[in-house]
Copies of this chain bind each other. A is one copy, B any other.
Amino acid sequence: MSTSVEFLFDFGSPYTYLAYHELRRIAARTEASIVWTPILLGGVFQATGNHSPAQIPAKGQWMNEDLKRWARRFGVPFRQNPHFPINTLTLMRGAVGYQMRELRFADYLDLIFRGMWVEERNLGDPAVLGAWLDGHGFDPEDFAKMVADPAVKERLKHHTEAAVARGVFGAPSFIVSDELFWGQDRLVFVAEALGSPVTG
Q: Which residue numbers of A lie inside 8 Å of B, CB to CB?
A: 48-50, 55-59, 61-62, 65-66, 69, 73, 164, 167-170, 179-180, 182-183, 185-186, 188-189, 197, 199-200
Contacts and interface: CB of A to CB of B under 8 A. Distances in A.
Contacts of A58: 48, 50, 164, 167-169
Contact of A61 (B57, B69, B167): B167
A197 to B, nearest CB: 6
A62 B58 CA distance: 24
A116 B48 CA distance: 28
Contact of A59 (B50, B179, B185, B200): B50
Looking at A58, A59, A189, the one whose CB has the most chain B CB atoms below 10 A away is: A58
A8 to B, nearest CB: 13
A167 B199 contact: no
A187 B168 CA distance: 25
A61 B179 CA distance: 12
Contacts of A59: 48, 50, 169-170, 182
Contacts of A61: 167
Given A56-B169, A199-B199, 5 more contacts: A48-B58, A50-B59, A59-B182, A65-B179, A66-B186
Contacts of A200: 197, 199
Contact of A189 (B55, B57, B69, B188): B69
A58 B169 CA distance: 6
